[in-house]
Structure formats: structure tokens, C-alpha cells
Amino acid sequence: MVRSFARLDVFVANGASLGARQPVIKYPLDVWRQTFQINVHANLQLLQGLDPLLRKSDAGRVIFLSAAVATNAKVGTGSYAASKAALEAVARIYGIEGKGTPIKINTVSPGATRTEMRARAAPDEDPMTLKTPDDIAPLFVELALPSCQRHDEWIGADDWLKTRTR
């Protein structure tokens, strides 16, 4: 990819897998590893490969997608919660390391959003009560803009939406 493109302006680290809904003590380690492989290692590997292109941009932007359970774990969220917490740590470290460069790194926690993954995670929830991806898409656009100066921040999409509706 580095040979094909002169630069990369935006990378959204959104690889995610729910894993199994099991108590941690009974969690199948192969599923735990697979969840971490997708949610942390794949995103990290992409970041490592894309970093040289991001550094060539005048305004490289990296947006990591996390989840509320990374800091507010719930029963049955085992590897998903732990892997999202690990991804947040990767984002924070990369943010610190990127200070002083044109790259701006931020983490978004979308909150309960009407997606297929949310339907699998909360099958008893009425999806029509949830915001849609289109509702929070402007946040991602804002963070991707060259004019955005936010850096090394954790942004809850629900809080962001509240500020937009005032």
C-alpha cells in the first residue's frame, strides 16, 4: 500500500468482533484470542502499516472505535470489553507518541447504535429506540477534517450528540 499511495489522510480503526457472551471464568481461550486478534492486533497491524502514509499527510487523522464496556464492563462482555480497553490503551499511547506531529488521534465510543452487532449483543433491545450510524456520522467527518485540532481525546458520541442538539 505504501508503494501505491503518496499519503493517507484518514484511518478509521473499526475492526470489531463481539466474541462469546460467557462469564470470564468460563470463557473459551480460543475465542478470547480471536476477539483480541480482530479488535486489537488487526487494528494495530493496520496502524503500523499505515503510519508512514499518515505521516506524509499534512493533516493525518486516526479515529479508533471503542465501546462503553471498555470502561464500564458488564457481565458477558468478557473479551469484547477487555479488547476494547486494550485498543483504547493503544490509541492513548499512539496519541502521546504522535504529539507534535500533524497527525491527530482520537477515540470514539459510539454508544448504543442501531447496528447488526448491537442487535446480536442486545437481542431484547428495541432497535428503533437507538440512534443510527447516520446520526453520529457527522462526528467522524468532524474528526477527519484537516481543520480538526482535537487530539488524544476520548469522545462519547452520546455526549457529542447532546452538544449538537442544544
Residue/partner pairs of 81-88 with CB below 8 Å, 24 or more apart: 82/32, 82/36, 83/19, 83/35, 83/36, 83/38, 83/39, 83/40, 84/39, 86/36, 86/39, 86/40, 87/13, 87/39, 87/40, 87/43, 88/64, 88/154
CA–CA separation, 158 vs 10, rounded Å? 23
Maximum Cα interatomic distance, the chain, rounded to a whole number of Å: 48
Are the C-beta atoms of 130 and 160 separated by less than 8 Å?
no
The H-or-E segment that residue 142 falls in is helix 133-144
Residues 11, 27, 64, 80: which is the catalytic one? 80
Residue 94 designated active-site: no
Catalytic positions are 80
